[in-house]
Amino acid sequence: MPIEVNGKVLETDEEGYLADITQWEPGVAEVMSKEDDLTLTAEHWELINFLREYYEEYQIAPAVRVLTKAVGKTMGKDKGNSKYLYSLFPYGPGKQACRYAGLPKPTGCV
Amino acid sequence: MSMLHLVNKSPYERNSLDTCVGYVKEGDTLLLIEDGVYAAMSSGKASAKLSGLDVAVLGPDLAARGISEERLIDGVAVVDYAGFVDLAAAKDKVQSWL
Amino acid sequence: MSETKKFMYVNRKAPYGTIYAWEALEVVLIGAAFEQDVSLAFVDDGVYQLIEDQDTSGLEMKNFSPTYSALGDYDVKKIYVEKESLEERGLSIDDLQHLTWEDEDEDYAEKDSIQVVTRAEMADLFAESEVMFNF
């Protein structure tokens, strides 16, 4: 189902992931989070930006286990654990945060 | 009659290059594209098959595979897509050794 | 948690010309997410997958070579490249990406993932593995 962001209509796949990652802008995350009744805080953005940087470097969306480990290494152990990540993204830090970040569904997520 | 021969398979995996070179005549050009470009790396065994031939390779396919032009055998022309079209237009026929 | 098995993924195709290399990489990452004992073998044209400085911007294709660097994060630490296949193609380990993994037990020390092995050694590795996937 396509989403509308700042007057532009963007295609998504059947699970709501952006069809074309290059079309991403912060408004995408705003629109998607509003649909989920979630208000994005600085902590959410920190993770969204982290995922975008991870994708830029490795060309994949990381699996949750890998994401947790990588977050722990760069942002500290208090954030690199599933309790913290799920508290931010209750639908799953991999799936939900990747969707907001414009990434494909994480590789290794079934 | 002149021919442009196209080879798009790796010489280490298929025999298309072997067969093709047997058919190349004076005045023909052999253009290596896709996985065919590996044949033009001077350090590889398959490069010997190209000796004495007029050989060109497609630049974007080289770059995608991480092969710099310095790694190629001497005398190979690196062409872009426009150069590909020019070669095809300059020859009477194109034969693609799939 | 089920018992871990020794998985061996055999890569024999060059990248980009066919979809095998990228498909294999995705399967490896999915398999690694289930915490199995994973090894990767690169033989024949598969060794071309690891050449560094790949740039697909002229092809309008995804450049997936950076993804090999993520293998360490997925705990894939055993990457075997066949010596004979490299030599036949005029390549050496210096032409390949430098892939590493971080040892958490040693303060995240970076360790090399790639090992160049002979065909005979590769045959032994295949014999020792329990599940093989061929691409």
Residue range B23-75, pLDDT digits in tens: 999 999 999 999 999 999 999 999 999 999 999 999 999 999 999 999 999 99
Q: Where are the domains of chain A?
A: 3-100
Triad C5, C11, C15: Cα angle to 5°: 140
Mean pLDDT by 10 residues, chain A (110 residues): 90 92 94 94 96 95 90 90 92 91 78
For the beta carbon of residue C31, count every other beta carbon within 10 angstroms. Answer: 19
Dihedral over alpha carbons A98, A102, A106, A107 (to 10 degrees): -160
- Biggest CA–CA distance in chain B, Å, is 35
- Given the residues A13, A74, A109, A110, select the one marked as catalytic: A109
Per CB-CB distance under 8 Å, the chain C contacts of A55 are: none
For B27, how many CA atoms within 13 A lie in the half-sphere containing its CB? 8
Q: Cα(A71)–Cα(A44) distance, rounded to whole angstroms?
A: 13
Tokens of C42: 């690169």
Closest CA to A55 of A67, A46, A73: A67
Q: Residues near B80 by Cβ (< 8 Å), separated by ≥ 6?
A: B58, B59, B60, C58
pLDDT for C2 equals 64
Q: Cα(C71)–Cα(A7) distance, rounded to whole angstroms?
A: 39
> In chain A, helix, strand, coil percent, each to 5?
50, 5, 40
Per CB-CB distance under 8 Å, the chain B contacts of C90 are: 41-45, 47
Strand partners, C96: C51
* Closest partner CB to C58 (pick from B45, B59, B66): B59
Active site (annotated) includes residue A98: no
Pick the range with the lowest mean pLDDT from A78-82, B45-49, C51-55, C116-120: A78-82
pLDDT for A93 equals 86
* Closest partner CB to C70 (pick from A60, A73, A110): A60
Say if residues C81 and C89 touch (Cβ distance below 8 Å). no
pLDDT for A108 equals 60
**Which residues 43-62 in chain C show a CB within 8 A of chain A?**
62
Distances A7 to A27, A60, A70, B36 between C-alpha atoms, Å: 10, 28, 35, 46
Question: Into which CATH architecture does domain B3-93 fall?
Answer: 3-Layer(aba) Sandwich (3.40)
Q: Which amino acid is located at A23 in the chain?
A: Q
Confidence of residue C35 (pLDDT cuts 50, 70, 90): confident
Q: Can you tell me the mean pLDDT for C116-131?
A: 97
Tokens of B67: 């092969």
Q: Cα(C70)–Cα(A66) distance, rounded to whole angstroms?
A: 9
Contact C63 B64 (CB under 8 A): yes
pLDDT for B31 equals 98
Q: Which CATH class is domain A3-100?
A: mainly alpha
Q: Is the pLDDT of residue C1 over 60?
A: no
ipTM for the predicted complex comes to 0.92
Best of A53, A64, A66, A77 to disrupt the C interface by mutation (most C CBs within 10 Å)? A66
Say if residues A70 and A55 touch (Cβ distance below 8 Å). no
B16 interface with C at CB cutoff 8 Å: no
Pick the range with the lowest mean pLDDT from B24-38, C26-40, C109-123: C26-40
Q: Where are the domains of chain C?
A: 6-134
pLDDT for A52 equals 96
Q: What is the pLDDT of residues B85-97, one digit of tens each?
A: 999 999 999 999 9
Q: Can you tell me the mean pLDDT for C13-38?
A: 91
Give all strands of the β-sheet with B55-58 in edge-to-edge order.
B77-79, B55-58, B29-32, B3-7, B93-96
Q: How far is A38 from chain C (nearest CA, A)?
A: 28
Q: Does domain C6-134 have CATH number 3.40.50.720?
A: no
Per CB-CB distance under 8 Å, the chain B contacts of C48 are: 10, 38, 65
pLDDT for A109 equals 59
Per CB-CB distance under 8 Å, the chain C contacts of B60 are: 57-59
Q: Where are the domains of chain B?
A: 3-93
Query: What Rg, from alpha-carbon coordinates, does chain C have?
Result: 15
Percent pLDDT > 70 in chain C is 99
Q: Cα(B9)–Cα(B15) distance, rounded to whole angstroms?
A: 8
